[in-house]
């Protein structure tokens, strides 16, 4: 090979490598808001606010898809609604708050909720969790399901770890192996994320979606043999101290 050809080949390789580097997508950030409430009246107020005021305002601010999920089996002592908000940049969390404050349609539509009296609040508390998307899936995805929303099973899992290092080790395990397995088996994952702010840390969370419970069970049955190939690797031991699994379904007005 001539010197000129070698130079040209080196340039081509450099261009390919540079293109690959710049093609890496930046990670999304996610906010999960959890509305805690006790009564059906409170639930109706929250639903009306989310459907008619909050989600439309987020759409106008540039956030296209917002998820609203409810437990399939509610804890009657502490009922909850989950709201999943994807953000391209962390600063967008502040920007949406500012834009909603200036959004007349939001303020008007949300009055029953926003101006509720102190002795008739629409919720008991609001909890917020911030996450950063995993490198293996830097953007959220919409489920590709065929059943009506009220028949679906959305599985929200939370994996706590004893230390930050072990949590990062589990995230590495996801990035190197588990996300790929979930993808190959069509688990219809919406997101995988590292909790960067929340009441239970260190922690990671992810959401997979299914047409129904039978669909969910068959997917996990297929996952087992694939997971066994990596779960015994010495570098991935003791990296989950607590697994919290929640079964949810999307509200009829949810975008996800």
Q: What is the C-alpha separation between 170 and 166, in angstroms, rounded?
A: 6
Asked if the bond preceding 73 is cis, omega within 30° of 0, the reply is: no
Helices (H) and strands (E) in the chain, counts: 9, 8
In the chain, at which residue ranges do the beta strands (DSSP E only) sit?
29-37, 67-71, 79-87, 125-133, 153-160, 191-197, 203-210, 242-250
- 106, with CB counted inside 10 A (0-12, 13-18, 19+), is buried
Q: What is the CA radius of gyration of the chain?
A: 21
- 60, with CB counted inside 10 A (0-12, 13-18, 19+), is middle
Name the residue ranges covered by the structural domains of the chain: 29-250
DSSP 227: H
Q: Hey, what CATH class is 29-250 in? A: alpha beta
Neighbours of 36 (CB within 10 A): 15
Q: What is the C-alpha separation between 5 and 12, in angstroms, rounded?
A: 10
80 forms beta bridges with 36
One digit per residue, the tens of pLDDT, for the chain of length 256 reads 566 555 545 555 555 555 554 567 899 999 999 999 999 999 999 999 999 999 999 999 999 999 999 999 988 889 999 999 999 999 999 999 999 999 999 999 999 999 999 999 999 999 999 999 999 999 999 999 999 999 999 999 999 999 999 999 999 999 999 999 999 999 999 999 999 999 999 999 999 999 999 999 999 999 999 999 999 999 999 999 999 999 999 999 999 9
126 forms beta bridges with 35
Q: How far apart, in Å, are the Cα atoms of 225 and each of 104, 189, 232?
A: 54, 19, 12
């Amino acid at each position: 090979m001539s010197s000129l050809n070698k130079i040209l080949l080196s340039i081509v390789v450099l261009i390919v490598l540079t293109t690959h580097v710049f093609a890496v997508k930046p990670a999304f950030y996610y906010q999960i808001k959890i509305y805690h409430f006790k009564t059906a009246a409170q639930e109706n107020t929250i639903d009306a606010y989310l459907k008619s005021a909050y989600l439309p305002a987020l759409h106008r601010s540039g956030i296209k898809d917002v998820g609203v999920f409810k437990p399939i089996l509610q804890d009657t002592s502490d009922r909850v609604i989950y709201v999943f908000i994807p953000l391209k940049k962390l600063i967008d969390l502040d920007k949406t708050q500012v834009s909603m404050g200036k959004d007349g349609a939001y303020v008007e539509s949300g009055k029953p909720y926003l101006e509720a009296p102190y002795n008739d609040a629409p919720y008991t508390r609001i909890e917020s969790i911030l996450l950063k998307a995993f490198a293996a899936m830097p953007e959220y995805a919409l489920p590709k399901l065929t059943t009506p929303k009220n028949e679906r099973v959305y599985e929200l899992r939370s994996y706590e770890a004893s230390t930050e290092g072990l949590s990062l080790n589990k995230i590495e395990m996801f990035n190197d192996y588990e996300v790929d397995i979930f993808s190959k088996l069509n688990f219809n994952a919406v997101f995988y994320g590292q909790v960067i702010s929340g009441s239970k840390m260190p922690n990671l969370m992810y959401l997979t979606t299914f047409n129904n419970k039978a669909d969910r069970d068959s997917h996990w049955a297929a996952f087992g043999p694939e997971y066994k190939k990596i779960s015994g690797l010495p570098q991935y031991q003791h990296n989950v101290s607590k697994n919290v699994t929640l079964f949810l379904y999307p509200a009829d007005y949810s975008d996800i």
